[in-house]
């Protein structure tokens, strides 16, 4: 689609604003970079090759049986047990365990020689004084089989080697993401001895006079939270969710606001009057209380939060579109379109709306900022996305509850502050470029 000369001139003016243009480029590059977060932070390897067979655990779920194990569940790719399974050590361990079990459970009747064990009625003379001799008779004959042979009645050895298991090591290799953790994984073991609230630098132990190594030893580049989850992985996942949520909320709010505001401004009269009274009543409802009530009645989720915030996200842009349509509906090109028999919908869509998008484009970055702040605020109050979903607001709450863990609150606060500042710079640049008063 070829842009008009006016739009191209406004875009060129936006590019001349170096601060706004560079802020836009930074946000765009970071957003594109964090979209495939699963390829950046994951506890599953991107590619796994075992004896020439390729597996893609990030894109497809495999069970331990697919790699020669016995469990139907997905393996822990970071565990030592899975490494032993791939290397073949686990097979040899099984053989040695079964062999030891075989040796320990081998029982022969030769172990019960007459000198070491002989059980007869004589051993129970004192107890059988009151009992008839024929009522109890226990001897070696009682262990004979139907053929009278005791040699064949020995308990046979466990036949555990009918299908011998090969201990030959296998050829395997993996391609891991840069960060070998996701937002939910809690490690069961640690080289530093600390799983929860592990610092990304050396610290002193409060209980013992020793130094705790940095969490970098375990691959936690920003430490762990109070449950042992990787802070950097949760921050990257939370940044992606916040930015996508803010963009989606701004897009849907803009679409709904343009529709409702356009109908009010174009038709005017009773439609405009009723619409304005409805907006005043609806806007007076406390959004936070509405969110608390609906969250108590329905299962909390990101989709529910998105729906609730969209109930009021459209009102700001609707007021600007209504004013633009009220101004444009009496212009000459609109009257000419009506005289030619063009429908009202086509007049609004093809003639008035393209000439009324200046406030939409101008306020869109600020709508994204408002959406991100709304999500972070609700997550901070534990009213947003349910745990264990990653969120910058939840990380800020953890940092408040664990003030000694500065590696949680400082990176999160800096990420949120820089993101909102860049969006503000972009919004100012767009406003300066598209606002007719500025031109």
pLDDT in tens, 352-403: 888 888 888 888 999 999 999 989 988 898 888 887 889 899 999 999 999 8
pLDDT at 23: 95
- CA–CA gap between residue 232 and residue 185 (Å, rounded): 12
Residue pair 41/184 in contact by the 8 Å Cβ criterion:
no
Maximum C-alpha span of the chain: 128
Q: Long-range contacts for 194-201 (Cβ within 8 Å, ≥24 apart)?
A: 195/224, 195/228, 196/224, 196/225, 196/226, 196/227, 196/228, 197/223, 197/224, 197/225, 197/226, 197/402, 197/405, 198/223, 198/224, 198/228, 199/223, 199/405, 199/407, 200/407, 201/407
**On the CB side of 393, how many CA atoms lie within 13 Å of its CA?**
21
Residue pair 379/394 in contact by the 8 Å Cβ criterion:
yes
103 phi, psi to nearest 5 deg? -65, -40
- CA–CA gap between residue 193 and residue 214 (Å, rounded): 10
Identify the sign of the CA torsion 173, 177, 180, 183: negative
What are the CA-CA distances from residue 234 to residues 37, 101, 150 (Å)?
10, 46, 69
> pTM above 0.75?
yes
Q: What is the mean pLDDT of each run of 10 residues along the chain (439 residues)?
A: 74 91 95 92 93 91 89 89 79 43 42 43 44 44 44 39 48 92 89 88 79 90 92 95 94 93 91 91 82 77 86 88 90 89 89 85 90 90 84 92 92 95 93 73
pLDDT at 316: 87
Q: Which two structure tokens, joined as six digits, stand for 295?
A: 């969250």
247 class by beta-carbon count within 10 Å (0-12 exposed, 13-18 middle, 19+ buried): middle
165 class by beta-carbon count within 10 Å (0-12 exposed, 13-18 middle, 19+ buried): middle
pLDDT at 438: 60
pLDDT at 103: 39
CATH of domain 9-37+229-434: 1.10.3720.10
pLDDT at 3: 64
**On the CB side of 253, how many CA atoms lie within 13 Å of its CA?**
31
pLDDT at 381: 85
392 class by beta-carbon count within 10 Å (0-12 exposed, 13-18 middle, 19+ buried): buried
Quickly count: other Cβ atoms within 10 Å of residue 263's Cβ: 19
């Amino acid at each position: 689609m070829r842009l008009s000369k006016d739009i191209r001139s406004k875009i060129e003016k936006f590019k001349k604003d170096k601060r706004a243009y560079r802020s836009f480029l930074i946000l765009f590059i970071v957003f594109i970079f964090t979209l495939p977060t699963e390829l950046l932070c994951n506890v599953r390897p991107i590619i796994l090759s075992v004896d020439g067979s390729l597996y893609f655990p990030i894109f497809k779920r495999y069970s331990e049986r697919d790699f020669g194990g016995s469990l139907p569940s997905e393996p822990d790719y970071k565990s030592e047990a899975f490494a032993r399974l791939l290397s073949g050590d686990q097979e040899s361990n099984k053989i040695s365990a079964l062999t030891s079990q075989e040796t320990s459970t081998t029982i022969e009747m030769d172990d019960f020689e007459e000198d070491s064990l002989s059980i007869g009625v004589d051993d129970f003379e004192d107890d059988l004084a009151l009992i008839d001799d024929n009522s109890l008779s226990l001897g070696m004959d009682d262990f004979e089989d139907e053929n009278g042979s005791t040699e064949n009645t020995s308990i046979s050895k466990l036949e555990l080697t009918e299908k011998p298991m090969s201990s030959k090591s296998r050829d395997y290799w993996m391609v891991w993401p840069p960060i070998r953790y996701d937002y939910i994984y809690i490690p069961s073991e640690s080289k530093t001895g600390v799983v929860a609230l592990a610092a990304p630098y050396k610290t002193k132990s409060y209980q013992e006079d020793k130094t705790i190594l940095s969490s970098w030893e375990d691959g936690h580049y920003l430490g762990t939270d109070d449950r042992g989850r990787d802070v950097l992985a949760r921050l990257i996942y939370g940044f992606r969710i916040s930015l996508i949520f803010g963009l989606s909320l701004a897009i849907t709010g803009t679409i709904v606001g343009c529709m409702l505001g356009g109908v009010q401004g174009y038709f005017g009269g009773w439609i405009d009057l009723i619409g304005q009274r409805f907006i005043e009543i609806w806007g007076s409802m406390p959004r936070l209380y509405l969110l608390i009530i609906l969250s108590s009645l329905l299962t909390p989720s990101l989709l529910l939060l998105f729906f609730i915030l969209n109930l009021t996200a459209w009102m700001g842009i609707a007021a600007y579109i209504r004013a633009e349509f009220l101004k444009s509906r009496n212009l000459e090109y609109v009257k000419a379109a009506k005289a030619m028999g063009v429908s009202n919908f086509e007049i609004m869509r093809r003639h008035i709306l393209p000439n009324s998008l200046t406030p939409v484009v101008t306020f869109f970055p600020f709508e994204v900022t408002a959406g991100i702040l709304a999500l972070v605020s609700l997550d901070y109050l534990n009213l947003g996305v349910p745990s264990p979903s990653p969120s910058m607001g939840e990380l800020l709450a953890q940092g408040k509850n664990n003030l000694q863990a500065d590696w949680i609150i400082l990176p999160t606060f800096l990420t949120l502050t820089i993101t909102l500042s860049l969006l503000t710079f972009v919004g100012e640049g767009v406003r300066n470029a598209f606002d007719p008063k500025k031109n």
